[in-house]
C-alpha cells in the first residue's frame, strides 16, 4: 500500500499528534508542536534511545558485535554556548548555504535546489536556459520549456550556418554548477542564458551566503560582543565536556557520551512536515576510542544504529544504510553512513536521512585544543589569518587521554551516531499508518485506520472499557485503569459508544491492547484482552493484567 502523506498529516492533527506551531496566528514555518498523543510518542522514542544507549547498557560485558566492553554516560548541556565553540568547530565559517532571491517576489531558494535546463547547439555552445526553483532532475523538464529550448537551438544554428542538431542536447544542472560552467567557459550570463525566476520572469539576485545558525544577544551587550548562537547541534556539548567527564567519572576510553536536546537551524526551505524544521531535537552520542580501534567501532555503531530502527518497528524494506561516497564525506571524516527511510513524501526508491553515523577522527578534540582546522593535502592543520596567527584559537586545554594501563597518551578518535528525535518520530508515525478492513460487531467488513506502533513506542499502551455502563462494570474497569496508571502504564478509560467504535478509536491512535470488562467478569474475575494487530481476544485474570501488559510491551 502506497501511503499518502496527506492522510497521515490529517490523522496527526485530528487525533492530537502534531499541530502547527502558533496555528491560531497562522502558524510559523518550520516550527511544530506535539499534541497530547504526540508528546507521549516522542517521549517514548527518546526513552527508547536513552534506554538503549545508557540505562540498559552494561559496561562489564561486550554487547553482541562490539569489539570489547565499553562505558556509556550522559550529559545535558546548554543551548547557548561560548561563541568560540562555533568558531573552533567550523560552524561559524562553514555552516551556511548559498541562496538566491527572486527580486520581485522576494522568495528565497537554495542555489543547489534551483535547476537550470541548458540547451547546447551542435557547436557545443550553451545558447539558452530555463530555470526551475526546485530540484527537477533530468526527467522534470516540461514540454513547453523543452520546445522553447529546441527553438533557441534551431535559431542559433540557423544564424550561425551550423548543421541542425539531430537530437537537441538539453541537460539539467543546479544553479551553482550552471554559473560555474558559464564562468569557466568565459560566457556572460546574459540574454537567453540568464537564469530568471520562472514565476515572475524577473531577475534573481547573485548567490549569497546565509548562515544557518540563529543569532541571539546575551545580557545587555549589543553588537558583536554580546552575540551568541542557538546551537545547531548537540554534539559540541559533549566535545567541550570530554575532559570534565573523564576527570569526574569512572569512564575509561573506549566510552560514549550521549545527549538528547533541542537544536536550531534557520533552514532556508523547511519542508516535508516535521522532516526539515527550524527547531528540532537531536539524539547524539560521541564515542571516544583509540585511533587504532576506531574503524572497528565505526562498523559496530553503524550496524547497531540501523538495527535499532528495525527493533522498534521499521520494516527493513523501507530502511537503508547508505555509505557516503568519498566526494560526500565531510573534510574531517574518513567514513560516514546514513540510516535512511522511504518517507511517503519521497519518490519511489528515494530515501530521507534519519541518522548519520560518522567516523570523525580526532577533528573535534583537536579543534577545541588548537583552533579551527582546515585540510591541507591529507593533513588537518590550524587555519591561519593574514598575520599567520590561528584564525580562531582553540581553548588551549589539553584534551588528550592518558591510558594508565598501556602508559600511552593519545587524542581519542570519535564515532558519532547523530539521530533526529523528530525525524525518527515522523518515520515511526509513517511506518505505523495502515488502512485495512475488519469485521464490525455484526460481522460486516468495515475499513479501519490503524497505527501499528511498536508497543514500546505507542503513546497509549492499554485502553480499559466496561462493556456496558451498568451492572458494576464501570467500577471494575475504573479499578483496573487505576492499577495500570499506578504502575506507570500509559492507559485510557473509555465507556462511550458501541464497543466496536471504541476499538476503532484506539486502533486509530495505535493502542496495542484493549481490555474489556464484560458480563463474565463477575464470575471468572477475568477481562478480554484484544490485540490490535492480530485481533486475537484472550481472557486474562484481573490480578495478572499489569504484569501481562508490561510483559507484552517489553517482550
195 is in an annotated binding site: no
Among residues 235 and 337, whose Cβ is nearest to ligand GAP?
Answer: 235
By CB under 6 A, name the one of 157, 355, 431, 518 that touches ligand GAP.
Answer: 355
277 is in an annotated binding site: yes
By CB under 6 A, name the one of 353, 383, 440, 531 that touches ligand GAP.
Answer: 353
Answer whether the bond into residue 214 is a cis peptide, omega within 30°: no
Among residues 270 and 455, whose Cβ is nearest to ligand GAP?
Answer: 270
What CA–CA distance (Å, rounded) separates 421 from 416? 15
Rg, the chain, Cα only: 29
CB 426, min distance to ligand GAP, A: 9
CB 26, min distance to ligand GAP, A: 21
How many residues belong to the site for ligand GAP (CB under 6 A)?
19
Among residues 370 and 416, whose Cβ is nearest to ligand GAP?
Answer: 416
By CB under 6 A, name the one of 235, 258, 462, 509 that touches ligand GAP.
Answer: 235
Q: Per residue, what are the HEC states of 87-154?
A: HHHCHHHHCEEEEEEECCCCCEEEHHHCEEEEEECCCCCEEEEEEECCCCCCCCCCHHHHHHHHHHHH
| Sheet with 335-341: strands ordered across | 71-74, 255-264, 279-289, 413-420, 352-361, 335-341, 319-323
Rule CB under 6 A: is residue 240 a binding residue for ligand GAP?
Answer: no
Among residues 73 and 277, whose Cβ is nearest to ligand GAP?
Answer: 277
- Alpha-carbon 347 to chain mean position: 18
The helix or strand, by DSSP H or E, that contains position 178, with its residue range, turns out to be: helix 175-185
Task: From 238-246, 413-421, 456-464, 476-484, give the range in contact with ligand GAP by CB under 6 A.
Answer: 413-421
By CB under 6 A, name the one of 130, 157, 284, 364 that touches ligand GAP.
Answer: 284
Beta-carbon neighbour count of residue 407 at 10 Å? 7
CB 236, min distance to ligand GAP, A: 8
User: Helix crossing, 421-432 with 5-14: angle to 10°?
Assistant: 100
Rule CB under 6 A: is residue 422 a binding residue for ligand GAP?
Answer: yes
Rule CB under 6 A: is residue 419 a binding residue for ligand GAP?
Answer: yes
Q: For residues 241-270, which are near ligand GAP according to CB under 6 A?
A: 265, 267
Rule CB under 6 A: is residue 276 a binding residue for ligand GAP?
Answer: yes
∠ CA 447-452-454, rounded to 5°: 170
Nearest by Cα to 488 from 40, 39, 17? 40
Among residues 71 and 420, whose Cβ is nearest to ligand GAP?
Answer: 420
Task: From 31-39, 134-142, 275-283, 329-337, give the range in contact with ligand GAP by CB under 6 A.
Answer: 275-283
CB 521, min distance to ligand GAP, A: 46
Q: For residues 287-316, which are near ligand GAP according to CB under 6 A?
A: none
Rule CB under 6 A: is residue 418 a binding residue for ligand GAP?
Answer: yes
By CB under 6 A, name the one of 175, 240, 354, 473 that touches ligand GAP.
Answer: 354
What CA–CA distance (Å, rounded) separates 503 from 531? 10
315 is in an annotated binding site: no
422 is in an annotated binding site: yes
Q: DSSP per residue over 348-405, as a string?
A: TT--EEEEEEEEEETHHHHHHHHB-EEEETTEEEE-B-TTSSBSSB-------EEETT
What CA–CA distance (Å, rounded) separates 180 from 164? 27
281 is in an annotated binding site: yes
Residue 518-547 contact track with ligand GAP, rule CB under 6 A, x = bound: ------------------------------
CB 423, min distance to ligand GAP, A: 4
Q: Per residue, what are the HEC states of 276-294?
A: ECCEEEEEEEEEEECHHHH
Among residues 110 and 276, whose Cβ is nearest to ligand GAP?
Answer: 276
Among residues 355 and 507, whose Cβ is nearest to ligand GAP?
Answer: 355
Nearest by Cα to 415 from 295, 253, 243? 295
Rule CB under 6 A: is residue 286 a binding residue for ligand GAP?
Answer: no
17 forms beta bridges with none
* Main-chain phi, psi angles of 156, to 5 degrees: -65, -45
Residue 195-234 contact track with ligand GAP, rule CB under 6 A, x = bound: --------------------------------------x-
231 is in an annotated binding site: no
CB 30, min distance to ligand GAP, A: 8
Instruction: Give the three-state DSSP class for 528.
Output: strand
Chain contacts with ligand GAP (rule: CB under 6 A): 233, 235, 265, 267, 276-277, 280, 282, 284, 353-356, 416, 418-420, 422-423
Annotated binding-site residue numbers: 110, 233, 265-267, 275-284, 353-354, 416-423
Amino acid at each position: 500500500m502506497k501511503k499518502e502523506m496527506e492522510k497521515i498529516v490529517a490523522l496527526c492533527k485530528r487525533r492530537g499528534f502534531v499541530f502547527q506551531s502558533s496555528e491560531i496566528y497562522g502558524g510559523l514555518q518550520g516550527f511544530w508542536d506535539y499534541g497530547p498523543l504526540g508528546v507521549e510518542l516522542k517521549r517514548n522514542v527518546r526513552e527508547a534511545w536513552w534506554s538503549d544507549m545508557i540505562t540498559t547498557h552494561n559496561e562489564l560485558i561486550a554487547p553482541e558485535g562490539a569489539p570489547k566492553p565499553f562505558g556509556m554516560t550522559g550529559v545535558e548541556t546548554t543551548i547557548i554556548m561560548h561563541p568560540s565553540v562555533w568558531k573552533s568547530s567550523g560552524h561559524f565559517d562553514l555552516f551556511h548555504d548559498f541562496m538566491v532571491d527572486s527580486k520581485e517576489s522576494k522568495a528565497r531558494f537554495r542555489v543547489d535546489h534551483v535547476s537550470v535546463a541548458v540547451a547546447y547547439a551542435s557547436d557545443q555552445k550553451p545558447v539558452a536556459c530555463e530555470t526551475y526553483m526546485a530540484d527537477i532532475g533530468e526527467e522534470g523538464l516540461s514540454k513547453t520549456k523543452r520546445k522553447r529550448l529546441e527553438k533557441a537551438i534551431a535559431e542559433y544554428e540557423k544564424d550561425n550556418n551550423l548543421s541542425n542538431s539531430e537530437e537537441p542536447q538539453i541537460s539539467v544542472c543546479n544553479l551553482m554548477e550552471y554559473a560555474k560552467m558559464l564562468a569557466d567557459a568565459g560566457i556572460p550570463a546574459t540574454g537567453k542564458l540568464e537564469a530568471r525566476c520562472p514565476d515572475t520572469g524577473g531577475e534573481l539576485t547573485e548567490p549569497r551566503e546565509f548562515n544557518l545558525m540563529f543569532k541571539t544577544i546575551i545580557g545587555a551587550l549589543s553588537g558583536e560582543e554580546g552575540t551568541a548562537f542557538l546551537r545547531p547541534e548537540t554534539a559540541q556539548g559533549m566535545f567541550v565536556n570530554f575532559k570534565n567527564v573523564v576527570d569526574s567519572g569512572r569512564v575509561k576510553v573506549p566510552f560514549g557520551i550521549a545527549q538528547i536536546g533541542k537544536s536550531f537551524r534557520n533552514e532556508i526551505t523547511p519542508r516535508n512536515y516535521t522532516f526539515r524544521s527550524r527547531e528540532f531535537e537531536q539524539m547524539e552520542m560521541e564515542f571516544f576510542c583509540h585511533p587504532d580501534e576506531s574503524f572497528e567501532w565505526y562498523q559496530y555503531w553503524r550496524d547497531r544504529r540501523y538495527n535499532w530502527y528495525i527493533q522498534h518497528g521499521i520494516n527493513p524494506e523501507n530502511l537503508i544504510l547508505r555509505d557516503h561516497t568519498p566526494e560526500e564525506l565531510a573534510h574531517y571524516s574518513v567514513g560516514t553512513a546514513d540510516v535512511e527511510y522511504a518517507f511517503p513524501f519521497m519518490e519511489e526508491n528515494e530515501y530521507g536521512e534519519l541518522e548519520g553515523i560518522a567516523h570523525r577522527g580526532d577533528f573535534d578534540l583537536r579543534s577545541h585544543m588548537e583552533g579551527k582546522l582546515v585540510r591541507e593535502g591529507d593533513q588537518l592543520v590550524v587555519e591561519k589569518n593574514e598575520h599567520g596567527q590561528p584564525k580562531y584559537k582553540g581553548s588551549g586545554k589539553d584534551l588528550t587521554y592518558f591510558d594508565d594501563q598501556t602508559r600511552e597518551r593519545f587524542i581519542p578518535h570519535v564515532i558519532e551516531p547523530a539521530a533526529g528525535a523528530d525525524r525518527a518520530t515522523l518515520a515511526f508515525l509513517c511506518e505505523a499508518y495502515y488502512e485495512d478492513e475488519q469485521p464490525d460487531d455484526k460481522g460486516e467488513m468495515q475499513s479501519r485506520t490503524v497505527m501499528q506502533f511498536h508497543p514500546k513506542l505507542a503513546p497509549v499502551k492499554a485502553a480499559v472499557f466496561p462493556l456496558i455502563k451498568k451492572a458494576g462494570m464501570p467500577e471494575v474497569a475504573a479499578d483496573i485503569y487505576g492499577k495500570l496508571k499506578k504502575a506507570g502504564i500509559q492507559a485510557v478509560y473509555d465507556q462511550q459508544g458501541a464497543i466496536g467504535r471504541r476499538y476503532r478509536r484506539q486502533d486509530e491512535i495505535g493502542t496495542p491492547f484493549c481490555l474489556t470488562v464484560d458480563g463474565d467478569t463477575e464470575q471468572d474475575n477475568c477481562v478480554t484482552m484484544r490485540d490490535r494487530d492480530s485481533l486475537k481476544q484472550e481472557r486474562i485474570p484481573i490480578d495478572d493484567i499489569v504484569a501481562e501488559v508490561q510483559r507484552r510491551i517489553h517482550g
